Structure 1
Amino acid sequence: MKTILLVPTGEGVGLTSACLGLSYALECQGVKAGFLKPFSQETKIEADRTSALFQHLTKSETVEPIPYATVTQQLNCGESDELLEEAVRLHRQIAKKHDIIIVEGLLPNARDAFASELNSALAKALDAKVIIVSNADIHKASASAEKVEAQLRHFGGASSDRTAGVLFMRTKGLPEGSAQIPLTFDPSLRLVSDTNKFVADIQKTHAHIGTAQLPVIGLVPFSNTLSVPRMSDLAANLQAEWISQGEALQRRVLHSSLIAANIEHELDKFVAGELIISASDRIDVLLASGLASSNGTPLAGLLLTEHHAPNSQILDFCQAAIKQGLPILHTSLSTFETAQSLMNLSNEIPVDDTERAEQVTRFVSSHINEEWLAQLLKGAYNPRLSPSAFRHELVQKSIHAKKRIVLPEGDEPRTIQAAAICQSRGIAHCILLAKPEAVVEVAKARNIELPFDLEIIDPDLIRENYVAPMVEARKGKINELQAREQLQDTVVLGTMMLALDQVDGLVSGAVHTTANTVRPAFQLIKTAPEYSLVSSVFFMLLPDEVYVYGDCAINPDPDAEQLAEIAIQSADSAKAFGIDPRIAMISYSTGTSGAGADVEKVAQATAIAKQRRPDLLIDGPLQYDAASVESVGRSKAPESKVAGRANVFIFPDLNTGNTTYKAVQRSANVVSVGPMLQGLNKPVNDLSRGALVDDIVFTIALTAIQAEQQVEAKASKAS
């Protein structure tokens, strides 16, 4: 058991972000960390912010901290030992389910003079390694080091084996562009040269900071983007009331503009993410905001100051904007008082702002030294592929693959944003099939920055090139007129590009049905030579591990031969994504405990799969609980190497598979990635029509990896 205590040098250092970021970095190394905040410093009785965010992001249980009133009372009564004993009890409660625990220390401040001393006692009581968390300024190395030095004294100084490192948060003075937000854990963003230079400057006055004994484990830049509040966060701080709440929970204030001059000179301020501030009697500003929103520009919101709120007649003119979600606030504060309040807004992440918490978590984790993490974990854990590790591997492998992926739904907003992310991060080279002017218009309205090398192809300019090849591909089934007509569908056009090796994969389905995406693939791409059918898998991102479910989307009632093939395809897919497959053939009966045609089919499929692929760990028939729950597996199938340990689940038919995946997804709030099609000559993948931008990004990454896997397989056969 390892415990890491994060000790801040003061307020405003980003302690919550540091805890969440370290937890995520560990998860990406295959280790699920527990979290504990033993002592609350909140005087009000409310849910602890860090604990609540940790529970939401990791889906892990934690415990409530000891209330502030109890902490101060026991310290005042000389009962510090009893207080620490309670902290140890909470720690042991978390330790039952985790091999490593992150503990959040107390903030030293003017009110709580006991914080540093209690942190020191807590480190001893929990036998914890200590990470000092501080803010920094690149141009003030000595002053930054002095803050760390002040805390080190409480833990035995620089020579103590209690201290494990220093994490510098909210670092100012770093070059522009260093504060980009990663899609997932991305160690390539770590500022190695900047860190080395900063450490060298520190060591001119504090030689021990940055050594092997006390390494600097991360230099996290200050990010304006990650410090931005939502519109909903402004109301309480500004004593404001809602005229229209709209999308206040989603819209973020990237920047703000006070409109004081004539409206004709201020129109350049009405851009995506802008908070428009104006006196409430400026009807022209209200109307301009409404017009901008109606034209598709997602302003952060409108903040009206002084005087009275606009009357209903004026608001009637803005109904179109209000229906599109424009948040409108009114405060009786003066414009100057409003500006002051905005400047004093806290940088801390609100409990309910989970989107920002997720971004901050990925951002911080990407700046933590991977080598330090590996040393910390060395020899102490049995890593498994966690959901975070799966997503990390997905992105890293796709970057390495460098594939071209065509997106037929090229003017769809989520697809455009996903393509921009993939292109800028090198996840794939994306090709949007759409009118370039339509893509630019959508990007402008949604404040999406299009990378210069993002490829946008007008379908009308290339369609004719594919008429003859399509007639040849479907010889005897269609003529030129029919081919030309079918190629009006950009999914068919993109599939032809894939068939002719002009791209490496295709992703569609954000606005098309599964049939629209899959049918052209069946007709033009067809199955790989070694397979007789196409099937699908979902990657189910459970809290502690990633499971593979197949087939839940394509084959209604496969026979034994087909079911064996689905199992083999799914096992190979699992391997391609870093999962060591243990395959369970699911049935309503385990072993020979039941009988019937359905059970017999699964038994035959298991035998066929074992014969075809003796290298695979496969067993069946197994009931789902016997496959997934260790105690049930030992009871029902004691000789099985799969029972109780399965991570690839093959369902006997589509009815069972689709029902199970949806039940698990919805009831357990599990993220599912897929369906990923397998068995095709070239990779084509379908999206849910409710897909989020991240879902599309991960599906593009998944498609790129499939393409690379197929290239490697062909090369292996050729040799």
Structure 2
Amino acid sequence: MKTLFVAPTRNGVGLSSTTLGLVRALERQGLKVAFLKPIAQTHEADTDDSVHFARALMGTRTPEPISLTSAEEQLSLGAEEELMESVIALSREAAAGVTGGADVLVAEGLALTERNTYAGALNASLARNLEAEVVLVSSLAGVTPAALADELEISALAYRRSDGRGLAGYILNFAPMALDFGGLLAELRGRSRILAGGELPLLGVVAQNASLGAPRTLDVARYLGATVVNEGEAKLRRVSSTVVTARSVPRMAHLFGPGALVVTPGDREDVVMAAALAHLSGVPLAGLLFTSGSGPEDSIEKLCRAALTSTLPVLRTTTNSYETASRLSRMDARVPHDDTDRMDRMLDFIADRLDTLPLGARLRTPNVDGERRLPPSAFRYELIQKARAAHKRIVLPEGDEPRTVRAAVRCVEKGIARCVLLAKPDKVRQVAEGLGLTLPDSLEILDPDVIRTQYVAPMVELRKSKGLTAPQAEAQLEDTVVIGTMMLALGEVDGLVSGAIHTTANTVRPALQLIKTAPGAALVSSIFFMLMPEQVLVYGDAAINPNPNAQELADIAIQSADSARAFGITPRVAMLSYSTGESGTGEDVEKVKAATGLVKEMRPDIIIDGPLQYDAASVLSVGKQKAPDSPVAGRATVFIFPDLNTGNTTYKAVQRAAGVVAVGPMLQGLRKPVNDLSRGALVDDIVYTIALTAIQATQGAGK
């Protein structure tokens, strides 16, 4: 196991978030990463920020750091060696917290403040005792290139070992949007021998992003000690701007946009009514904050009650507007422990901007069996990267559904896919405006009423064997899912994603009629990618086939194994049953035995075993006991359920009870990719399904 020690070059460089962002970036490479904060940052009794978020967002069994009081006491008594022994013990504990052992341990040093002048030397000692390579974190805020070069040079010399090693790279935070990157890098290298010699490579430049600093309305209320008049969505809405109402409404109405916190005395009836009207018009204001302990007159409150008692957060503070605004400008940027969403987005933002490939050769340790255990973060990262490379055109028939619009915008902005929304353009723009979104110019919006007639004749031709007439085709094409399916059938798009407001049958039936199954595919089945804490598993079939026979079950297993391999998962297929091996009998067990035999005959390249009970398939100790000679037991990555009842029940139980993200269902066996969404799908679910569909389009949907 290798160790990276992340150290700041000065105060206020964003150390904790950068360290956890680095952890996420390394996990995306498929590395098993342990995290350690050796010594707590403050004397506060609460859990250290970075430790809290490592546990909350990464599921790591991160040990509690040594208290700052204890560390300072040991240092003052000259007991640094004892302190380091405790740190080494913690590093072993952190590594042991990763099942199967960690490939790399990332340790976060102490941030440099005015109160801990000893921190620089202590960090250097920690890095040496942990035998770590150091990642320096600096900031471009308030520093000249010359000063930054000196800062990096001095810090690097403090951490470089006598053999010239010990430096892994450096990261620059808070870069201005208009940064002349080439000029900066040239000047830094011109002023630093270590940078010029390549001993300290640049791992990433992270730009400033105001949206990541936006606190929730709830956080503002806590900070001000404000009274919550109406909670509404105070836990969800974020403050991206503050509007202090010093002018008349017509002169500031344009400021009443998404994320605006309107700060006003309660007797400004015009402002109160304007804010209420903005809310009722669909503008997601961050909230309405009454100052000076005031509130609107009863008559105004009654008139605006529909807004003031709805999802709009309403707060009241005793300070006047000027004092309130002044306090808000000084609000701490620290992320509260219960705001995991903000920290999660921040870590993704940082990880997206880090190039950890230079560290790969130093850190990667192959698995003993040579197989890759693909962790969820790596799966999601590679999913997006493969989708970007595919550059496919995906049609979304539910084009004016809010989650779908948000997902399409995200996909286009991130280059995941070229999305096509089927909906009235005016309706889509209205939905986007209400969500505070700007529709990208490259996002296609097609009006179904305009394009519908062009698919009547082709549809009649495709369904002529069934006697479909033009009037019947025109009637069926009133359904946007059917229009989208025709676009796919004719090759105008590469895939289709639907289901946010349609049933599975509404999505799949047109595909079966117009797309049909792929050559060699006997049926259509589905899989879910289950993002377990340690790795991604494949569950099939949990959405389509109610009670497959032995041949159908074998087909599902083959399709699922091929899909797993296509998405970077080494397939070890477990054919599940209520018994393992020869321990049970009965019709259901015999079906699984027969299906297993058929797969071995048809595809001897697939590693498969069955029947296996779930615990024998998934838990190594149980597998060794119940099926000691099995190549799959305890190490299965693809789980094939004997029927839909078992599969759907199991996936939902695992998803809900264990808090596991389930990506899918992804349909297999169609000639072209069509994928169904759960009607409770989140925006992220839709984004990942679009990415899956784009990748399927490059591989052949029948795989």
TM > 0.5 fold call: yes
Deviates more, 1:282-291 or 1:244-253: 244-253
Deviates more, 1:68-77 or 1:57-66: 68-77
Deviates more, 1:166-175 or 1:426-435: 166-175
Cα shift readout 1:289-325 (whole Å, capped 9, x = no counterpart):
1110101111122222225233555333333224541
Question: 2:150 is matched with which residue?
Answer: 146
Question: 1:186 is matched with which residue?
Answer: none
Deviates more, 1:277-286 or 1:432-441: 277-286
Question: 1:698 is matched with which residue?
Answer: 688
Matches of 2:298 and 2:71, distance apart in 1: 52
Matches of 1:435 and 1:64, distance apart in 2: 55
C-alpha deviation, 1:379, in angstroms: 5.0
Matches of 2:196 and 2:299, distance apart in 1: 64
For 1:164, the aligned partner's letter is A
Tell me, yes or no, if the aligned pair for 1:137 and 1:173 is still in contact at 8 Å.
Answer: no
Determine if the alignment matches structure 1 residue 66 to structure 2 residue 66.
yes
Question: 2:486 is matched with which residue?
Answer: 496
C-alpha deviation, 1:160, in angstroms: 4.1
For 2:111, the aligned partner's letter is L
C-alpha deviation, 1:73, in angstroms: 2.7
Question: 1:87 is matched with which residue?
Answer: 87
Cα shift readout 1:400-454 (whole Å, capped 9, x = no counterpart):
2121111110000110111111122221111111000000111111111111121
Matches of 1:5 and 1:658, distance apart in 2: 44
Task: State how 1:477-516 maps to structure 2 within 5 Å.
Answer: 477-516=467-506
Among 282, 288, 296, which residue is 1:310 paired with? 296
Q: Alpha carbons of 1:240 and 1:210: their partners in 2 closer, same or farther (altered >3 Å)?
A: farther
Question: 1:606 is matched with which residue?
Answer: 596
Question: 1:118 is matched with which residue?
Answer: 122
Cα shift readout 1:55-112 (whole Å, capped 9, x = no counterpart):
1211221111122222233333333332222222211111222221111111221112
Cα shift readout 1:314-363 (whole Å, capped 9, x = no counterpart):
33333322454111222222322222222222222221221121111111
Matches of 1:520 and 1:149, distance apart in 2: 64
For 1:459, the aligned partner's letter is P
Matches of 1:83 and 1:139, distance apart in 2: 34
Q: Secondary structure at the match of 1:642?
A: coil
Matches of 1:712 and 1:602, distance apart in 2: 23
Q: Alpha carbons of 1:509 and 1:173: their partners in 2 closer, same or farther (altered >3 Å)?
A: closer
Matches of 1:321 and 1:689, distance apart in 2: 28
Determine if the alignment matches structure 1 residue 450 to structure 2 residue 450.
no
Matches of 1:478 and 1:11, distance apart in 2: 72
C-alpha deviation, 1:671, in angstroms: 0.3
Q: Secondary structure at the match of 1:133?
A: strand
Question: 1:366 is matched with which residue?
Answer: 352
Matches of 1:236 and 1:529, distance apart in 2: 61
Task: State how 1:238-257 maps to structure 2 within 5 Å.
Answer: 238-257=224-243
Matches of 1:401 and 1:131, distance apart in 2: 34
Deviates more, 1:116-125 or 1:398-407: 116-125
C-alpha deviation, 1:553, in angstroms: 0.6
Matches of 1:496 and 1:581, distance apart in 2: 34
C-alpha deviation, 1:247, in angstroms: 1.1
Structure 2: which 5+ runs fail to align? none
Q: Alpha carbons of 1:375 and 1:155: their partners in 2 closer, same or farther (altered >3 Å)?
A: same
Question: 1:37 is matched with which residue?
Answer: 37
Question: 1:461 is matched with which residue?
Answer: 450
Tell me, yes or no, if the aligned pair for 1:31 and 1:384 is still in contact at 8 Å.
Answer: no
C-alpha deviation, 1:170, in angstroms: 1.7
Question: 2:413 is matched with which residue?
Answer: 424
Tell me, yes or no, if the aligned pair for 1:159 and 1:213 is still in contact at 8 Å.
Answer: no
Matches of 2:87 and 2:298, distance apart in 1: 56
Question: 2:521 is matched with which residue?
Answer: 531
Q: Alpha carbons of 1:10 and 1:241: their partners in 2 closer, same or farther (altered >3 Å)?
A: farther
Tell me, yes or no, if the aligned pair for 1:139 and 1:173 is still in contact at 8 Å.
Answer: no
C-alpha deviation, 1:662, in angstroms: 0.9
Among 258, 275, 279, which residue is 1:289 paired with? 275
Tell me, yes or no, if the aligned pair for 2:31 and 2:364 is still in contact at 8 Å.
Answer: no
Question: 1:354 is matched with which residue?
Answer: 340
Determine if the alignment matches structure 1 residue 136 to structure 2 residue 136.
no
Matches of 1:154 and 1:565, distance apart in 2: 61
Among 611, 623, 639, which residue is 1:649 paired with? 639
Matches of 1:313 and 1:73, distance apart in 2: 63
For 1:288, the aligned partner's letter is A
Question: 1:237 is matched with which residue?
Answer: 223
Q: Alpha carbons of 1:110 and 1:160: their partners in 2 closer, same or farther (altered >3 Å)?
A: farther
Matches of 2:422 and 2:297, distance apart in 1: 46
Determine if the alignment matches structure 1 residue 407 to structure 2 residue 396.
yes
Cα shift readout 1:663-684 (whole Å, capped 9, x = no counterpart):
1111111000001111111111
Cα shift readout 1:487-544 (whole Å, capped 9, x = no counterpart):
2111122112222222111101111111211121122222122112111000001111
Matches of 2:239 and 2:64, distance apart in 1: 32
Determine if the alignment matches structure 1 residue 562 to structure 2 residue 552.
yes
Matches of 1:704 and 1:540, distance apart in 2: 19
Among 563, 585, 593, which residue is 1:595 paired with? 585
For 1:465, the aligned partner's letter is Q
Matches of 1:667 and 1:210, distance apart in 2: 53
Matches of 1:289 and 1:158, distance apart in 2: 64
Q: TM-score, normalised by structure 1?
A: 0.93
C-alpha deviation, 1:243, in angstroms: 1.7
Task: State how 1:668-687 maps to structure 2 within 5 Å.
Answer: 668-687=658-677
Q: Alpha carbons of 1:112 and 1:204: their partners in 2 closer, same or farther (altered >3 Å)?
A: same
Matches of 1:311 and 1:464, distance apart in 2: 57
Matches of 1:154 and 1:310, distance apart in 2: 61
C-alpha deviation, 1:159, in angstroms: 7.4
Question: 1:396 is matched with which residue?
Answer: 385
Determine if the alignment matches structure 1 residue 472 to structure 2 residue 461.
yes
Q: Secondary structure at the match of 1:266?
A: helix
Q: Secondary structure at the match of 2:395?
A: strand
Question: 1:6 is matched with which residue?
Answer: 6
Q: Alpha carbons of 1:313 and 1:75: their partners in 2 closer, same or farther (altered >3 Å)?
A: farther
Question: 1:553 is matched with which residue?
Answer: 543
Q: Alpha carbons of 1:577 and 1:546: their partners in 2 closer, same or farther (altered >3 Å)?
A: same
Structure 1: which 5+ runs fail to align? 176-193, 714-719
Matches of 1:374 and 1:79, distance apart in 2: 36
C-alpha deviation, 1:618, in angstroms: 1.3
For 1:68, the aligned partner's letter is L
C-alpha deviation, 1:115, in angstroms: 1.3
Determine if the alignment matches structure 1 residue 621 to structure 2 residue 611.
yes
For 1:112, the aligned partner's letter is N
For 1:88, the aligned partner's letter is I
Tell me, yes or no, if the aligned pair for 2:527 and 2:541 is still in contact at 8 Å.
Answer: yes
Q: TM-score, normalised by structure 2?
A: 0.95
Tell me, yes or no, if the aligned pair for 2:670 and 2:701 is still in contact at 8 Å.
Answer: no
CA RMSD of aligned residues (A): 2.0
Tell me, yes or no, if the aligned pair for 2:217 and 2:239 is still in contact at 8 Å.
Answer: yes
Question: 2:428 is matched with which residue?
Answer: 439
Tell me, yes or no, if the aligned pair for 1:220 and 1:364 is still in contact at 8 Å.
Answer: yes
Q: Alpha carbons of 1:138 and 1:306: their partners in 2 closer, same or farther (altered >3 Å)?
A: closer
C-alpha deviation, 1:163, in angstroms: 2.6
Deviates more, 1:166-175 or 1:689-698: 166-175
C-alpha deviation, 1:483, in angstroms: 2.2
Question: 2:328 is matched with which residue?
Answer: 342
Q: Alpha carbons of 1:290 and 1:91: their partners in 2 closer, same or farther (altered >3 Å)?
A: same
Matches of 2:78 and 2:304, distance apart in 1: 63
Q: Alpha carbons of 1:443 and 1:94: their partners in 2 closer, same or farther (altered >3 Å)?
A: same
Tell me, yes or no, if the aligned pair for 2:672 and 2:702 is still in contact at 8 Å.
Answer: no
Q: Alpha carbons of 1:373 and 1:321: their partners in 2 closer, same or farther (altered >3 Å)?
A: farther
Tell me, yes or no, if the aligned pair for 1:142 and 1:206 is still in contact at 8 Å.
Answer: no
C-alpha deviation, 1:226, in angstroms: 1.5
For 1:104, the aligned partner's letter is E
